Chain A
Amino acid sequence: MSKYLVMIFGGQADYDAMIGKPSEGHPAWSQQDLQAMFQFMESINNDLAESGELIDGQGLAEPSQSVVITAGPNGAPVVSDGPYGETREVLAGYWVLDCASVERVTEIAKRVHRCPLPAGTAPSDVVVRPIDEAPAVA
């Protein structure tokens, strides 16, 4: 068994569309759209919990609530709030999974990719990254 991080991405515009603030390429979600997505995610999470592969899985709050620390002119850290544009895609949610093989986690990631979306919305890429094993704790 190996651990994997499965990531999905989205921009502020995607979050806005889900609360009824549409923009070009990001149509507003209807109640049916939302319900279909909720049920889809719910069934994935339940299946992963039942199979014992789910270690953690979380959605992240909208990008505008981010806090970013960058190096200032003199190298000292500079803190800024929600510095992303409407369309820049950032991490929107993730699962930490314990899977038997990379084939298995890829299968799960493909299922995530099939998440129902409103017509006219492009699906996010789903990215799988293996997690380095920490040394065993005695």
Chain B
Amino acid sequence: MTTAAPTGDLLRKLAPQVLGALVRRYGHFDAAEDAVQEALFAAAQQWPVTGTPDNPRGWLIRIASRRLIDELRSAEARRRREESLASMTPRDELHEPPSSEARAPSADDTLTLLFLCCHSALSPASQVALTLRAVGGLTTAEISRAFLVPEATMAQRIGRAKKTIKSAGGHFQVPEPAELPQRLAAVLQILYLIFNEGYTATSGYSLHRADLSAEAIRLTRTVRTLLSDNCEVAGLLALMLLIDARRPARTGPGGELIPLADQDRSRWNRTAIAEGVALVSEVLPRKRLGPYQLQAAIAAVHDEAPTAADTDWSEILGLYDLLMRLAPSPVVSLNHAVALAMLHGPNVGLEQLAKLDVEGGLVGNHRLDAARAHLLEMTGDRAGALAAYQAAAAGTLNVPERRYLQLKAAGLQPRSPYPVLVETPAVP
């Protein structure tokens, strides 16, 4: 990120708190969000020179409030109206945050903001952008780089998102208890989406994008501290940590995917694994199972195996059984079939895949072809495996995956490929 640590880290931690304080006091989420961005920008420029103020949060609230009031005033002036909150409030009251505010923990505002940013009236792309800016404290330029779109496009997307929330009547308040689970599910989904955007990044883009996974983990950690007894929040955090731990080992020098079984496990991040495993161990016994916890538990079993051959496939199969009951999907069925094959042999897995063919949810899906290719290779059917790898490679749009599948197909080529170069016979 562009601001140097520790100023950058501090600013991004404070950003949602400052925005929350402003919106709670003045409303006007859209204008407040702009004002906070300006205050963050001012801080990023001034603090490294003047030193960080004693009360950085108060400083930011003061500056952002001033900007917001100025903006509201000029907007009002343009409309020649006098009834705005801003114009009726004594100026000092607007500029100085109440003394209580600087001390009171306002972390709850972060959660309320997350709910607002993940408003159901917005598209997932807009939810992601708004979450990263309003809660993550990233600049529009940083977000646009992460998603490879021009900054003007991202600015428009964020602007439109804020207007949409306004016209949909989105309020800065914690959802009613009855809607909380559904609203929280939307938030967790967006956090996982942000994580995956960073995780699936490839090529030169990983330089831009790796930070998205770290950002998603940071935000999920924040939600975890706010909703510490929610098992799915813990499950999502654990899942992210357990997957992210493999990052150093998951791609080769050419950016090709290295499958779990072939990864150099000594390169996995042990600290992240330990934290993820501890979270899973903490929440699973509470028996409030959910899809994130189960996926985290599966990831934990993989991460705890010293070698691929040590993987406890019966444990994994049991977890997939549960996941199929709790959150069935064709991909879960596919993974279940693979676990079955690892436990009882490739032919059992191939039979399961044939059933998936009949059910039809994954026809033409490269993951089905790739799984079939692996199992056929295990049975020794090289020609069948080659055809399945070829179908999978042609079917995927994911670059690391395609590179991996191309390499597998190349490795199964018959000994003499198509003769192109005709050997010149040696002159006697």
Query: Is the pair B403, A34 in contact by a Cβ cutoff of 8 Å?
Result: yes
Would you give the 0/1 interface string for A1-42, flagging 1 where the beta carbon is closer than 8 Å to chain B?
000000000000001001111111111111101110111011
* CB–CB A20/B148 < 8 A: no
Contact indicator B207/A62 (Cβ below 8 Å): no
Tell me if B227 counts as interface (CB < 8 A to partner A): no
CB neighbours of B409 from chain A (8 A): 19-20
Other-chain residue from A28, A35, A41, A46 in contact with B417 (beta carbon distance below 8 A)? A28
Contact status B204-A48, CB under 8 Å: yes
B31 interfacial by beta-carbon distance below 8 Å: no
The answer to whether A18 touches B406 (Cβ under 8 A) is: yes
Interface contact A22-B204, CB-CB below 8 Å: no
Determine, out of A52-60, A72-80, A84-92, A102-110, the stretch whose residues face the partner at the interface. A52-60
List the A side residues contacting B156 at CB < 8 Å.
Answer: 137
- Which residues of A lie under 8 Å from residue B410 when comparing CB positions? 20, 28-31, 33-34
- Known contacts A23-B418, A25-B420; A45/B203 CB under 8 A: yes
In the complex, which of the residues B386, B397, B417 has the most CB atoms of chain A within 10 Å of its own CB atom? B417
Q: How many A residues have CB within 8 A of the partner chain?
A: 41
Partner among B205, B406, B418 whose Cβ is within 8 Å of the Cβ of A49: B205
Please determine whether B407 and A34 come into contact, CB atoms closer than 8 angstroms.
yes
Chain B stretch 241-259: residues in CB contact (< 8 A) with chain A: 252-256
Are the CB atoms of B403 and A20 closer together than 8 Å? no
Instruction: Specify which chain A residues have a CB less than 8 angstroms from the CB of B150 in the assembled complex.
Output: 55
Question: 10 other contacts beyond A23-B418, A50-B207, A137-B152, with CB at 8 A cut-off?
Answer: A15-B394, A18-B393, A20-B417, A34-B254, A35-B407, A38-B255, A38-B256, A38-B403, A49-B208, A119-B420
In the complex formed, the residue of A with least CB distance to B408 is: A31
What DSSP secondary structure best describes chain B's contact surface? helix
Provide the residues of chain A in CB contact with B389, threshold 8 Å.
Answer: 19
Contact (A29, B406) CB under 8 Å given A48-B204, A49-B205: yes
Residues of chain A with a CB closer than 8 A to B254's CB: 34-35, 37-39, 41-42
Whether the Cβ atoms of A27 and B417 lie closer than 8 Å is yes
Can you list 27 contacts pairing A with B, beta carbon distance less than 8 Å?
A18-B393, A18-B406, A20-B386, A20-B390, A20-B409, A20-B412, A22-B417, A23-B418, A26-B418, A27-B418, A28-B413, A29-B406, A30-B410, A34-B403, A34-B406, A35-B407, A38-B253, A39-B253, A41-B255, A42-B253, A45-B203, A45-B204, A46-B203, A48-B204, A49-B204, A55-B150, A137-B156
- In B353-382, the 8 Å CB interface with A consists of none
B107 — which chain A residues lie within 8 A by C-beta? none
Chain B hits for A31, CB < 8 A: 407, 410-411
The answer on a CB contact under 8 Å between B204 and A20 is no
